[in-house]
Amino acid sequence: MGVAAMAAFMGVRDAISTGAGGVAASVAMAAGGSPDAALNFGDGAVLPYSPAKVKAAPRGRASSWSSLLLLLGRTRKLAKVRLLLAAGVLLALVLLASPVGPPIGWNHQPSSSASSPSRDGYMVLINTWRRTSLLKKAVAHYASCPKTDAIHVVWSENDPPPESLKTYLRNIIMSRSRNSQKPKLQFDLNEEDNLNNRFKPINGLTNDAIFSVDDDLLVPCSTLEFAFTVWQTTPDTMVGFVPRMHWLDEEKNGVVYYKYGGWWSVWWTGTYSMVLSKAAFFHRKYLDMYTYKMPSTIHDYVTRERNCEDIAMSLLVANVTQAPPIWVKGKIHEIGSYGISSLAGHNKRRNNCLNDFISLYGAVPLVSTNIKAVDAREEWFW
């Protein structure tokens, strides 16, 4: 036993033998207790506070002061621990009692159909054009996803789909679907090749959710199911996998011009204001609004330019919700080798579309955000 430890032990022993109740009183008061508190030394002996013993206690012995300082140090440490524990409990109670709101940028607005019972699944809306091999792969894949209730194919070719193709797709749905209720297949036929066709209203839908996708994009079922749960929390919003952005470019003669930013702009800035309908969930009501309530000049623009129907839909939804879309982080597989985006001058045409549409709206309905939805089960750190 060291000298200091021995001195402390001797001091405590002497204090007990001489009736050092003043030590007990001092420790009790230092810990916030009453001077009437008792000191328990752990062996069952409890010494009550006594003014007479305080006066009788020797004041000049170093051992008594050592024991007093040791006890005071221990008491202060104990008091700090208790204070920290009390602060932690108080903070937890405050957090539990406070209302938890959505994060900045996630502006939830309850849908008028929020209480609709038909929100347990979704319809997959596939836009295709002269790529039968890709269409077969897309139908086979989405038929295997558990929440797929129906598959609609937007067909805008001159000739109707051959019966052999219909039979093949129905058979592949029956073999790939894991649901007892197999998804229904329907071709939505159009007389002309027009990108507005992909947003025409559809009769007989049993669910509110529509997953709009191009025939050359495959989203893994688990990722698709997660995006669907995100959409269910805010069914008025577009929820998708392909983010895009806009930003103020310049002002000429009192006219403000905006830039359209692709994926690398989103990656560089960490900001987006659109999710493209080539892989996105939205409410079926937007099909009616796109066709009947959106300015017809925008329909004419899309028909003439053969482009930008996805920007038009993003502007429409933003104009209704006054909120940003939600980008879901997830890996998607592109199985096609070409498309409109691969044509020369694509970015310039998208810039023109964005500015022309904004001028037709008379305002900028797009709302930027840096929030994205991530499935924590797929992340190492979250």
Closest CA to 122 of 213, 198, 188, 199: 213
Q: What is the DSSP string of 230-262?
A: HHHHSTTS-EES-EEEEEEEEEETTEEEEEEE-
Give yes or no: 193 in active site: no
- Count of beta carbons in the 10 Å neighbourhood of residue 71: 21
Crossing angle (nearest 10°) for helices 296-305 and 346-361:
170
**Distance, CA of 353 to CA of 99 (rounded, Å):** 42
Is the sign of the CA dihedral 167, 171, 173, 179 positive or negative? positive
The H-or-E segment that residue 128 falls in is: strand 122-128
Q: Going by DSSP bridges, is the β-strand pair 372-373/326-328 parallel, antiparallel, or unpaired?
A: parallel
Whether the Cβ atoms of residue 368 and residue 322 lie closer than 8 Å to each other: no
**Distance, CA of 139 to CA of 216 (rounded, Å):** 11
Crossing angle (nearest 10°) for helices 346-361 and 309-321:
30
Q: Which of 149, 208, 214, 310 is catalytic?
A: 310
CB burial of 234-243 (b: ≥16 within 10 Å; e: otherwise) equals bbbbbbbbbb
Whether the Cβ atoms of residue 119 and residue 235 lie closer than 8 Å to each other: yes
**Distance, CA of 207 to CA of 193 (rounded, Å):** 27
Whether the Cβ atoms of residue 116 and residue 208 lie closer than 8 Å to each other: yes
Q: How buried is residue 173: exposed, middle or buried, by Cβ count under 10 Å (0-12/13-18/19+)?
A: buried
**Distance, CA of 114 to CA of 327 (rounded, Å):** 21
- Count of beta carbons in the 10 Å neighbourhood of residue 39: 20
User: Which residues are catalytically annotated?
Assistant: 310
